[in-house]
Amino acid sequence: MGTERDHPRPLRPFLALGPRRTLRPRRTLRSRVVAVRARVALGRHAVVAVVLSAALLPSDSRAIAQSPPPGGETPGAAMEITFVDVGQGDAVIIQGPDGAAMMVDAGGASPLQALARLGVDSLALLVATHPHRDHIGGMDAVLTARPVARYLDSGVAPESADHERLQATLDRLGGIERAAAVDTTLRVGALTVEVLAPDDPRVGSVGLVIRHGAFSVFLPGDAEEEELTTWLDRGAVPDVTLLKASHHGSEDGFTHAFVDAAAPELVVISVGAVDTRGLPRPEALTAYRQHAVQLRRTDLDGHITVRGFPDGRYEVLTGPTLDDRELRTDRAATPGGNRGSAGPGEGALDSAVIDTVGPVSIDTVGPVSIDIVVDAPGTRPGDLNGDYATLTNRSNEILDLSGWRLCDLTTRCFRFPPGTSLRPGRDVVVYTGYGSPDGVSFFMNNDRRVWNENGDEATLYDEAGRTVVRHVY
């Protein structure tokens, strides 16, 4: 292996250090929940309106309004995992319901502001999945500014200046338990952390599966096809709630078999808006959309926080700053079963919060799903292309969209040009502002907003004027 550590010490379970985190009250939710989408059963011919259970919204509102009582873990309290928007790179902060915190990778530059904003004073575990700059560039800052109980990496010897500096910082600080990853299971407070050793430490990443009851997360670092396949062959890829897309949504960061086994409901891609060498790749996006109900991206959504409850439910909050995160979307009620009925706590309802929860989403069932985004984070002021509709072909057939129209409630419409087709699993995106269409991106060439941020209807009509699908949000 050529490392300075010939015999990685096996890890043993350990308990987290660090004081309980103080939760700040959330900002009041605004009604700008624009991407609430019901998960609908496809393949039915009847037009079925699927309405989110009214009971789901108050219970989730209660979760937002709730502050955990001091002195211990609340039964049913959430863990939080935050994908810090560090541009091109990964920095993931995980906070258990009891305040224990861990961090996986640290971005290319200092993520200290994020740790401060999230109230993380110490880390029970810091993991460097692999020593590339976009993952370890900010580690010196973290190690210097926060007490870290245990540090875990892939076990490869330093070959870059960044990695040498990191090793020197670890040597200088002392007192940190250091180990190369082996297949093992750790406890970080209330969280269970399954460690997957890299397939080949020279090129591979440490993988992690983090569990909080029925809510689970897979963090594969930048693992590529071969490593993902090895993990799969080892039986180490469980069905999880949340998958961080490997390697920033690269085409070598997934295999269909891997995504199929992980079967995520939510995929998060940590990727920069610039200097990404074409990431995320369209084929990766397509694969994730085929498997997951939701796809979130740091380049479009900003900071992404997922609050995972032990009964398996989750909430997604995003925002351009960590102080500004808002509930963006929610776990949809699934036809025939509503796992969201169990509230995360019995705290008092806050009617002010409930009143401002976004409108209920109603989707008709059709071969196409529609998702509306209004004012995507990171959009320049006045750029109407921050508003867009994504149409996804959910059928198994190529759809000819020639002459089809996408209209809002006030029947402002966009007509697809002749020759527009949409392959199974693929998207077309209709932007509100100006631009040149390329067969995937289309532009309404509007000077004013089309989609109302407080709720609207997006209806797709075929060439004969028949309704194909309607999305009400």
The nearest distance, CB 140 to Zn ion, in angstroms, is 18
Is residue 18 within 8 Å of 102, Cβ to Cβ? no
# residues near Zn ion by CB under 5 A = 2
Q: d(Cα 381, Cα 449) in Å, to the nearest integer?
A: 13
Give the binding range for Zn ion (CB under 5 A) out of 129-137, 184-192, 363-371, 412-420.
Answer: 129-137
Burial of 307 (0-12, 13-18, 19+ CB in 10 A): buried
Measured from the CB atom, the residue of 86 and 118 that comes closer to Zn ion is: 86
Tokens representing 380 are 């320049």
Is residue 89 within 8 Å of 272, Cβ to Cβ? yes
Q: Verify binding: residue 299, Zn ion, rule CB under 5 A.
A: no
The nearest distance, CB 105 to Zn ion, in angstroms, is 8
The nearest distance, CB 38 to Zn ion, in angstroms, is 34
Measured from the CB atom, the residue of 152 and 317 that comes closer to Zn ion is: 152
Give the binding range for Zn ion (CB under 5 A) out of 128-136, 162-170, 260-268, 379-387.
Answer: 128-136
Pick from 52, 340, 92, 40: which is nearest to 214 by CA?
340
How many CB atoms neighbour CB 221 within 10 A? Answer: 28
Measured from the CB atom, the residue of 222 and 299 that comes closer to Zn ion is: 222
The nearest distance, CB 135 to Zn ion, in angstroms, is 5
The nearest distance, CB 184 to Zn ion, in angstroms, is 24
Measured from the CB atom, the residue of 134 and 387 that comes closer to Zn ion is: 134
Strand residues in 313-451 grouped as ranges (E): 314-319, 326-330, 362-363, 368-373, 388-393, 399-400, 405-407, 413-415, 421-422, 427-431, 441-443
**Helical segments of 151-244, H only:** 161-173, 225-233
The nearest distance, CB 352 to Zn ion, in angstroms, is 42
Rg for the chain (alpha carbons), in Å? 22
Tokens representing 26 are 């959330």
Give the binding range for Zn ion (CB under 5 A) out of 131-139, 167-175, 186-194, 336-344.
Answer: 131-139
Show the CA angle centred on residue 295, arms to residues 290 and 301, nearest 5°.
160
For 369, the 3-state DSSP assignment is: strand
The nearest distance, CB 208 to Zn ion, in angstroms, is 15
Measured from the CB atom, the residue of 276 and 338 that comes closer to Zn ion is: 276
Binding pattern for the stretch 172-211 against Zn ion, x by CB under 5 A and - elsewhere: ----------------------------------------
Q: Which of residues 212-231 bind Zn ion (CB under 5 A)?
A: 222
Measured from the CB atom, the residue of 58 and 220 that comes closer to Zn ion is: 220
Is residue 271 within 8 Å of 247, Cβ to Cβ? no
**CA distances for 149 relative to 15, 84, 124, 127, 391, angstroms:** 10, 22, 5, 11, 47
Measured from the CB atom, the residue of 134 and 227 that comes closer to Zn ion is: 134
Measured from the CB atom, the residue of 86 and 368 that comes closer to Zn ion is: 86
Pick from 264, 319, 272: which is nearest to 295 by CA?
264
Q: At 191, give phi and psi (nearest 5°).
A: -95, 145
Q: Verify binding: residue 60, Zn ion, rule CB under 5 A.
A: no
Measured from the CB atom, the residue of 230 and 246 that comes closer to Zn ion is: 246
The nearest distance, CB 108 to Zn ion, in angstroms, is 9
Signed CA dihedral, 118, 122, 124, 128: sign only: positive
Measured from the CB atom, the residue of 137 and 343 that comes closer to Zn ion is: 137
Beta-carbon contacts of 30 under 8 Å, excluding residues fewer than 6 positions away, are 326, 356, 358
Is residue 331 within 8 Å of 340, Cβ to Cβ? yes
Measured from the CB atom, the residue of 158 and 359 that comes closer to Zn ion is: 158
DSSP state of 312: S
Tokens representing 150 are 């245990």
Token look-up 């090895």 returns: 230
Q: d(Cα 269, Cα 282) in Å, to the nearest integer?
A: 12
Is residue 29 within 8 Å of 357, Cβ to Cβ? yes
The nearest distance, CB 130 to Zn ion, in angstroms, is 8
How many CB atoms neighbour CB 174 within 10 A? Answer: 6
Q: Verify binding: residue 134, Zn ion, rule CB under 5 A.
A: yes
Measured from the CB atom, the residue of 130 and 296 that comes closer to Zn ion is: 130
The nearest distance, CB 418 to Zn ion, in angstroms, is 42
Q: Which residues bind Zn ion (CB under 5 A)?
A: 134, 222
